[in-house]
Structure 1
Amino acid sequence: VSQCPPQPRCHRCGATPVSPRCPPGDAAVPTCPQGMAKNGAEAEIDEGLYSRQLYVLGHEAMKRMQTSNVLVSGLRGLGVEVAKNLILGGVKSVTLHDPHEATWTDLASQ
């Protein structure tokens, strides 16, 4: 699990870099890129990126998706599409399992 690099950021106003107008003690709050949570902390949902999903699923379901670990077993044509949509949906991690070797006939199913 990668650590987020600390960046000086004001805790109250979010200014980067910390400006002189920020109160002392509010500086150097570690922030994570792309809205990712730091080691188990709850992440904010990027409403610009997931606006359509938020409209359908709601905030609570999106928070649950962001903390979900998913296993996709069987990567034929449907499995690949399901895995792609799960990844684009914003789940925490996706593990892919396919017990079969890829063949030439698999190309037509994708």
Structure 2
Amino acid sequence: VYTNRFQLYEQDQIYFDQGLNTFFIDEDLNGDADYEFRNPEFNFLQFRSNLVLRWEYKPGSEFFVVWTQSTTNFGDLEKKLLPSLTEDLFGDSFDNIFLVKFTHRFFRT
């Protein structure tokens, strides 16, 4: 039942054009591409970090400081993991967000 779920192509049925970054498929082997699709490989890199400091200066009253840092990039598929992280991800600029929150409880119950 599930024997025809995918098709394995022979070497003469599939061609990859690096300049176009596209695969061409010739199913009927007539020399003309029957269809094409772009190379599905990618290397998506993302780093997110949060630092939260909380101080309860009296019962029910708190002071928060939050720092969030993030960066996103697409890496080079030819690089190994460590060079890709250091050059493509951490070599890029970061987005920094700072948040300060202050709560105070005025009445005790």
TM-score, normalised relative to structure 2:
0.21
Which of these two proteins has the greater Rg computed from alpha carbons?
2
More strand by share: 2
Q: Compare the two structures and name the one with the higher helix fraction.
A: 1
